Structure 1
Amino acid sequence: MRLIVTAMLLPLLTGLGAQDAPPAPATDMPAAICGGDTVRTATPELLSGFGKGGWAIATRVPAAQAFFDNGMQLGAAFAHDASIAAMKEAVRRDPACAMCVWGEAWAGGPTINYGKSAAEKTALLARAQSARRLAADGSVLERALADALVLRYQPDAKDASANLAYARALDAVVRAHPGSNALDTLAADAWLIASLEGASLKRPEIDRSIALLEGVLARDPDYTPAIHFYIHATEIVRQPGRASRYADRLAALAPAASHLLHMPGHTYYWTGRYQDAARANVAAARLGQAEAARLGQAEAARLAPTTPDAVWDVRYHAHNVHFGIGGAMMAGDAEAALFLAEPLVRRAGTATGDRAFRQMVAGMGYAAHGRYADPAAVLALPSPTLPYLTAYWQYARGEAQARLGNAAAVRAEAAAIATSFAKTSDPAAGVAAQMARIAQLVLTGRAATIEGKPKLALAAFTRAARLQEEATFTNFADPPLWWYPVRRSMAEALLGLRRPEKALVEADRVLAVLPADPMTVAVRARALSALGRRAAAQAEARRAIAAWHGDARSFRRSLS
């Protein structure tokens, strides 16, 4: 889709010949996924359903224009490999096209999720320099874009300085060419990346990113690249609700982009729409599974035969699953939680080399089983071999025993959880050990609750909540690595101690971060009832029930 037509480019567009018409976009789902992150096809083709992107570039080859536009759409949807492939095809169709070469170099660049190694930057710099040479006799806009991209990949610059230089250069471009959705979003993405460099958030950079994105969305509320980055930016500044109306539109605008199906989950989770977060990520995970299955069927002759676990080679699939389980467990949706968790646990049970962070993500699958699967099935799960996964397996067993009311067995599982591990250079190892300790303390609190010892339960839950709320833990992953706010359990223990005022305070502290958490709202309703505030308690009970997607009968009993 062409979004910008400048005066300099109009003559080129009117001169496009019909003899090289662009191919029609693919009408069905893309046929394969290959290793890196998303859909790929055996032969180059335009992929539909990934949203908007692109602008009119200096080429007389319509197919080159079409593949450039598609590459920008795919890149903005974080379909990185497919974006690079589209840009390479654009170059093949028109080797003299400066922006096609530029697009190839841009598509391979860093994102807010991934940096680039020195070797990768060297290769990308070479392509950016080629684009600059080709653009030397082109428009002011294309020369400026080429110059900016060269700054991004300077070999001697640190990532932070290179990303900032690139953002500043793009900002100069958008000020010289105002009103362009594509260019403004390109610059906003650059500012977003620059804002995250270093130990603390850089407010001027992210504020500029947000301002650019809001300008785009005011002009076109359906501009998918801007919606994508606006969801990220508003979450980062802890104002996720600002993106809600755009998040609600995104799935319909980019139905083939698994990452864009997932993205509304960020907004939904942090605004208390946990069931919507679960649904968004179930949809993204289903799309990933379908693409992986199609790879096995359509490409088996060309590639090594795949396995049912091939979907885990898709870069963002584990994130979709992790996020979906997090939303489903907060909403009480056992069906969605177990749908996502079952293959995760199956794979985790045989994993032998995963690093700590991957083990923590996989651990969410065990948490879902512990809370929702048949207790006998949970207790029959084989022990994994990896240390942090083993801790989560034991946690799942403890949760299953808690549902059976067996306090002694819960304590035994808690005691079996290791909380000290062999020293390693893995940067996530400390956080993983901290999570194992949280699991142990939560089970200790569960056992004390079953035994009718709320004081002991409160002590255990308080220690777990403090560990969970340390900045090094809370800032490590999105969604939270631990599946629920343990401070909620503190509030429940305080109710058991007949301290409803304090329980209300703790519940409100949870809801300030995780609004509308139905279980915490239920605790709040019980606290209000104990304080004699019946009308307010009934209103909170109704709010909790409306947000809960689990066993309604047991949940209602907890509110009685």
Structure 2
Amino acid sequence: MKAIVLAGILLGSTAAMAQDIPPEQHKHPMSEAAASNGAGVPADMHAGHSHDDEVRPRVPTLLPGYGNGGFAVTTGLPQAQAFFSNGMELGAAFAHKAAIDAMAEAVRLDPSCAMCLWGQALTSGPTINYGKGAADRVPLLKLVQKAQALAAKAGTAKAGTAKARTAKERDLIGALMTRYRPGVVHQRDVDYAAAMRKVAARYPQDNEIAVLAADALMVSAFDEGADDFNHKPIEEAQGLLETVLKRAPEHTPAIHFYIHATEINRQPELAEPFADKLAGLAPHASHLVHMPSHTYYWVGRYQDAADTNWRAVQIGMANAKRLGLPEPKGVWDLPYHSHNVIYGLGGALMAGDARTALNLARPLVAHSTERENAEPFSQLLAASGYFALARFDDPAAVLALPEPKLPYLQAARHYARGEALLWLGDMAGVKAEMAAIPEKVASGTIDRDHKGPEAMLGILRAVLEGKMAMREKRYADAAKAFRRGAEIEETPEFMEFSDPPAFWYPVRRDLAAALLAQGDAAGARAQAEQSLRLRMRDPVAEDVLRGAEAVLARR
């Protein structure tokens, strides 16, 4: 499923979004009607969110601070070149609408610029986070056809002359044509990746082309009709990006996609030195400021994951304020804001950072409580707010939380109340909250969009049951309950359903603790080690492991 690379999951956002724009650019906002996602977009990828902007600068403006990645094209107008390069930077930073606007301005400035039209078509197309249906590709094909006609007028290229650039441009335009030709959408993305592979081989020293090829390969790996994705294009993309980063270790588009590729390929440690640079290279791009957390979380740098997302959230909040969006709702309409919040919670919960967790969780829960409609997947992600309150907030405040309207969030609230009552020693109350978590919410056949949320119900019940048994020193019962919860949590359907993981810690570490309390130090050690393979450097699992090893050393 694509959920593992979702950079932009937005809980219940409105159909219109506000672009993240640097502070100095917020001068002439204008409203724009919302546009829906294209046909054929997988529901699990795009539930409840759009990639359009609600507010943008009225006057086209170059937006600095979004990284690098632009390159010279054939145009006689420096300002058209500047907007083209900025459009490439914005597109690679997933500032989608701003990238399209920049390319449109480049076209307006120089209607004869073939690559400006190519850029407009490219930035309007699919990314690893969202697709473009067949109907949406029809006008993009027309843009590329016009670009091809303009590029053909440049004449035959000769090595060592300015015309050599036009040969490269014609190759890029021809490749993009394959993506937008009529036909099955996924097959056309595969065709485009194959065409870009050839272009990259033709220009092996060109970093920008290599990154474009890598991006194309990653998009081609996902077929909305398939249960899983094709790992081979991701592996090939990773190799291309490594070549670029050897030559240009501060290439922000390459770093962005490399973080994604290494995460998918379960090699996040490879991206760590590049992730450390990214926020400083693109300080105004909230998505790129956030991206290192995809590496930090999986190498066990949980506090860094929390801090990185807190900075990204602050950028979003500042943008919402400068854009004059209504409080508190407006910030949730910003692209990727919810994803930043949820990823920040994932890091803060694992790190034990109560301040960051509460500062992120309270607005998320307040926002979620008022929602009347949200996809099951969005509800699953928003549940992290309740988990944070359960762990860090005053039990009285948790018990005072109003009931949300959405069923999976109702279950998360019951879980949070159960945790609060455990802390207060009210076992009868814990049993009541556990009983209030339904065995299932979905009716009829459970589709893939419900599998994760439905699995969560079983995890929540098992964890409360296990913690109650631990409190009552029924360690064998606790181990049984925790084992059941861990087995549900570790199914492929749940483990790969969201990023970060939808349940905030490995339940297997609870199983290890129960076994240790039961006197089974060897079993506890084995389970703690297995838990640490799921979450590297988890401080709680490490404590259990040390405890088990200490017992074994005394024997």
Cα deviation digits, residues 359-380 of structure 1 (max 9, x gap): 1111110111111111111100
State how 1:61-140 maps to structure 2 within 5 Å: 61-138=77-154, 139-140=166-167
Structure 2 CA distance for aligned equivalents of residues 157 and 447 of structure 1: 53
Is 1:270 aligned to residue 298 of structure 2? Answer: yes
Q: CA deviation at 1:178?
A: 2.3
Partner of 1:188: 214
Q: CA deviation at 1:196?
A: 3.3
Residue aligned with 1:531, SS:
helix
Q: CA deviation at 1:407?
A: 2.4
Q: 1:153 aligns with which of 174, 177, 180?
A: 180
Partner of 1:289: 317
Q: CA deviation at 1:49?
A: 0.5
Is 1:411 aligned to residue 431 of structure 2? Answer: yes
How has the CA–CA distance of structure 1 residues 30 and 246 changed in structure 2, closer, same or farther, with 3 Å as cutoff? farther
Quick check: 409-418 or 389-398, which moved more?
A: 409-418
How has the CA–CA distance of structure 1 residues 422 and 211 changed in structure 2, closer, same or farther, with 3 Å as cutoff? closer
Structure 2 CA distance for aligned equivalents of residues 337 and 60 of structure 1: 52
Q: CA deviation at 1:412?
A: 1.4
Bigger RCO (CA 8 Å, 6+ sep) = 2
Q: CA deviation at 1:384?
A: 0.6
Partner of 1:307: 327
Structure 2 CA distance for aligned equivalents of residues 518 and 205 of structure 1: 35
Structure 1 CA distance for aligned equivalents of residues 22 and 407 of structure 2: 45
Q: CA deviation at 1:83?
A: 0.4
How has the CA–CA distance of structure 1 residues 348 and 27 changed in structure 2, closer, same or farther, with 3 Å as cutoff? closer
Q: 1:163 aligns with which of 178, 182, 189?
A: 189
How has the CA–CA distance of structure 1 residues 64 and 439 changed in structure 2, closer, same or farther, with 3 Å as cutoff? same
Residue aligned with 1:40, SS:
strand
How has the CA–CA distance of structure 1 residues 427 and 472 changed in structure 2, closer, same or farther, with 3 Å as cutoff? closer
Q: Note if contact 1:68-1:86 (Cα within 8 Å) is conserved in structure 2.
A: yes
Structure 1 CA distance for aligned equivalents of residues 528 and 342 of structure 2: 25
Q: Note if contact 2:25-2:61 (Cα within 8 Å) is conserved in structure 1.
A: no
Q: Note if contact 2:22-2:319 (Cα within 8 Å) is conserved in structure 1.
A: no
What amino acid is the match of 1:92?
Answer: R
Q: What are the ranges of 5 or more consecutive residues in structure 2 without an aligned counterpart?
A: 1-20, 35-50, 155-165
RMSD: 1.9
Partner of 1:245: 273
Structure 2 CA distance for aligned equivalents of residues 27 and 519 of structure 1: 40
Aligned residues: 501
Q: 2:198 aligns with which of 169, 172, 175?
A: 172
Structure 1 CA distance for aligned equivalents of residues 184 and 438 of structure 2: 43
Structure 2 CA distance for aligned equivalents of residues 368 and 393 of structure 1: 11
Structure 2 CA distance for aligned equivalents of residues 41 and 427 of structure 1: 39
Structure 2 CA distance for aligned equivalents of residues 37 and 311 of structure 1: 14
Q: CA deviation at 1:422?
A: 4.2
Partner of 1:330: 350
Partner of 2:513: 492
Is 1:506 aligned to residue 527 of structure 2? Answer: yes
Structure 2 CA distance for aligned equivalents of residues 220 and 350 of structure 1: 47
Cα deviation digits, residues 301-348 of structure 1 (max 9, x gap): xxxx63321122223111111111011100110111111111110011
State how 1:419-430 maps to structure 2 within 5 Å: 419-423=439-443, 427-430=448-451
Q: Note if contact 1:407-1:451 (Cα within 8 Å) is conserved in structure 2.
A: no
Q: Note if contact 2:506-2:534 (Cα within 8 Å) is conserved in structure 1.
A: no
TM-score scaled by length of structure 2: 0.87
What amino acid is the match of 1:163?
Answer: D
Structure 2 CA distance for aligned equivalents of residues 133 and 230 of structure 1: 34
Residue aligned with 2:403, SS:
coil
What amino acid is the match of 1:146?
Answer: I
State how 1:342-361 maps to structure 2 within 5 Å: 342-361=362-381
Q: CA deviation at 1:26?
A: 7.6
Partner of 1:556: none
Partner of 1:280: 308
Residue aligned with 1:353, SS:
coil
What amino acid is the match of 2:169?
Answer: E
